[in-house]
Each structure stands twice: as structure tokens, then as C-alpha cells.
Amino acid sequence: MKVLVTGGAGYIGSHTVAALLERGEQVVVYDHLETGHREAVPDSALFVEGDIRDVQKLEQTMKDYEVDAVIHFAAYSLVGESMQNPGKYYENNVYGTKCLLEAMVRQQVKRIVFSSTAAVYGEPVQIPIHEDDPIVPTNAYGETKLTMERMMRWYETAHGIHFISLRYFNAAGAHASGEIGEDHQPETHLIPLVLQTALGQRSHISIFGEDYPTEDGTCIRDYIHVSDLADAHILALDALRSQSRSGIYNLGNGQGFSVKQVIETAREVTGRDIPARMEDRRAGDPAVLVASSEKARNELGWKPSRTDLREVLASAWEWHVHHPQGYASPSLIRKGGESS
Ligand code: UFG
């Protein structure tokens, strides 16, 4: 039996694929490579280039490879873009997930681990955030992820498909092998932008807002190592296989760091000058987002092991130094000249 990983060529998807392969799972990656990278998928995984809105191709893939479980990453995930073009997010994220679930129904695949987000909460009512806190997304991206979660609930009721939804906080860092890491086009996330500045690829890092009600006035986020997120997917898969029950879990390391703390720690880790400039607030940024992951710890047995911000930044820095152009870096261009 094989695990189908939609979006397995993306950032969190590829780290989860690596973790699945490390524990001996047979993996089929399904990705349309619009934002993912073929180079991020190791040769030991099967690869199908396809769109999640292609029900027939999904069904055929599930049938051909005797898929027993799905891990679903494939989605657009830029908050700003989702506000400009919500239709794009409903089309790919919501309709695409409906297509995936239909294919699962037809092929009798009964387990799905789902890549959700802290963006479903919107402005938090308390810190740390718990899974049963109010859910009021403040952007279209978060709304589509919430809709996808809710859709799964109804497919469970109607068709017995169990799901585990994992609500990530701020994914960061890179795999210990140095072979895979973060490469978004365009890049909007704080840590890669800070490290690109350290490499001299950007003149400065912008700090979006210094007037938040936090100690140093900048936003606080819960940065969680991508390999710790990957481990949680394996535990979720195990829980679905052994217990056949659904659940929703936050994944964060429970500690918050401000934008200024991230930049200062990056200066220490890289030994480089990282010029920073104050700018206005970015629309829609809550002041503080920190997770309570007690539920994942208690019920899935998850224990993040790379929780030191220095360690997270050092692993990301290792990737950026060796792959300054991401997957287009010369060291990663595939034999035969194929690149992303
Ligand atoms: N920031 C800057 N300068 C930058 C980029 C970011 O100051 O150039 C700040 C942001 O304002 C924010 C913090 O750094 O306060 C982190 O920003 P990111 O863009 O790295 O991450 P977000 O917290 O905005 O978003 C992340 C995920 C989203 C998810 C969200 C859930 O990337 O997909 O968490 O809360 F929706």
C-alpha cells in the first residue's frame, strides 16, 4: 500500500515525503509543479505530474498504486494573493479538494491527513491558541482552508473517510540532508527574506510595523521546524491507520519570537550584516500568533525536537548558502539539464 502525497513537491510536502521515505513508506507524489519543484522529490518516490482538479487522473493514480492513505498539501497559500484573487483560491483549494475527496470515495481510500493553517483562527482571542477557540478567518486563504476542513467532516459522515487536519503556525528551516528547503516564487516569508538579505541578494529586510502591542513593537510568531511538522504527519497517518478516527490539531512550538528577534538571531547565526528598515504594518497581520500544541502532544504523541530559534535559522541558512537560487542552483540541476 502506498501513501499519495498531493503537493509533495512543495516546501512542507517535500519534507514530509522525505520523512515518509526514511521510515520505509512507499510514496507517490502528485503535483502539478506550478509552485512545487521536481528536484524536491527524491528518485525513491514515484512521481505523477497532475492537477488535483483532474478527478480521473487522481482516481487512476490511486488505483494503479493501491493507495491506502492521502496526505493533502496541494493548495495555493499566499495570503495577500488570496485577498486580490479569492476565486483562484476557491477554485484550486476548495474545488480541488472536492475532486480529491470524490476520487477517494470512488477508490475507497478512507484516510486523509490535511495541511491546514493557523490562518483559520483570524485574530486570536487568547494566546496560546487552542483548537476550540473561535474560528474567524480574516483572509480568503484561511477561509478556503477552513472550508476544506469542513468539507472533510461531511465526507466523513457520508462516506466514512477519516481525516486529521494539522493547523501549522509558521513553518521554517530545512532538512538536515541539505538537499531540500524553502523556495517560493515570489518569496513573502520573513525567514527566507532575512537570509536572502544576509546573502546580499536583497538590500534590506522590511519590518512591517513597530507599533504592535508587543514588547519591542513587532509581531510575534510561532516558528516551527519543517521537519517537526513532517514528523507530525507520520504520527497522524499512524493514528488514522490504527484508530480510524478524525481530529484537528495545532502544530507550533509554543514559543513566540518577534520580527526583531528573528532578525537579530539571524545576524548571530549568519555572522552577516542584515540591514533592516521600518515600514508600515502589512494589512491583516495579527500582533501575536502562538499555538498551544498540547492536543497534538497528548493525542498524537508529537514532540517537536528542533525548537531553538537558532537551530531553525541555522538549518535554513545551510540551505540558502548552498542553494542561493533555491532549486535552480547549479548543485541541484538534474542530470540531463532538467530544472524547475
Ligand atoms: N514580516 C516582516 N517583513 C517581511 C515579511 C514578514 O516584517 O518582509 C513579518 C510579518 O508582518 C509577520 C512576520 O514577519 O509579522 C511573519 O510573516 P510571514 O509572512 O513569514 O508569515 P505569516 O505569519 O504572515 O504567515 C504564516 C504562513 C501563512 C499562514 C499564517 C498563519 O506563511 O501561510 O502564518 O498565521 F496563513
59: which 3 cell numbers?
482516481
pLDDT in tens, 272-287: 999 999 999 998 899 9
Would you state the pLDDT for residue 127?
A: 97
Mean pLDDT of 214-240: 98
Which residues are marked as active site? 141
Angle value at C-alpha 47, between 42 and 51, nearest 5 degrees: 130
Confidence category of residue 123, pLDDT binned at 50, 70, 90:
very high
Q: Looking at the predicted structure, is the pLDDT value of residue 337 above 70?
A: no
Would you state the pLDDT for residue 340?
A: 33
332: which 3 cell numbers?
541541484
- Cell 493514528 found at: 239
pLDDT in tens, 145-186: 999 999 999 999 999 999 999 999 999 999 999 999 999 999
Instruction: Indicate which residue's Cα is closest to atom 10 of ligand 1.
Output: 208
What's the CA-to-centroid distance between 104 and ligand 1, angstroms? 33
Establish whether residue 3 lines the binding site of ligand 1, counting it when its CB lies within 6 angstroms of any ligand atom: no
pLDDT in tens, 43-88: 999 999 999 999 999 999 999 999 999 999 999 999 999 999 999 9
User: For residue 5, which of 38, 57, 48 has the smallest C-alpha distance?
Assistant: 48
Centre a 10 Å sphere on the Cβ of residue 274 and count the other Cβ atoms it contains.
19
What's the CA-to-centroid distance between 8 and ligand 1, angstroms? 22
What residue type is assigned to position 281 of the chain?
R
**Could you give phi then psi for residue 192, rounded to 5 degrees?**
-60, -35
Domains of the chain: 2-332 (3.40.50.720)
Confidence category of residue 339, pLDDT binned at 50, 70, 90:
very low
Confidence category of residue 338, pLDDT binned at 50, 70, 90:
very low
Helix, strand or coil for residue 29? strand
Would you state the pLDDT for residue 244?
A: 85
- Asked if the peptide bond before residue 286 counts as cis, ω within 30 degrees of 0, the response is no
Strand partners, 111: 162
pTM for this predicted structure: 0.96
Q: Tell me, what's the ipTM? A: 0.96
Establish whether residue 207 lines the binding site of ligand 1, counting it when its CB lies within 6 angstroms of any ligand atom: yes
Say if residues 69 and 111 touch (Cβ distance below 8 Å).
yes
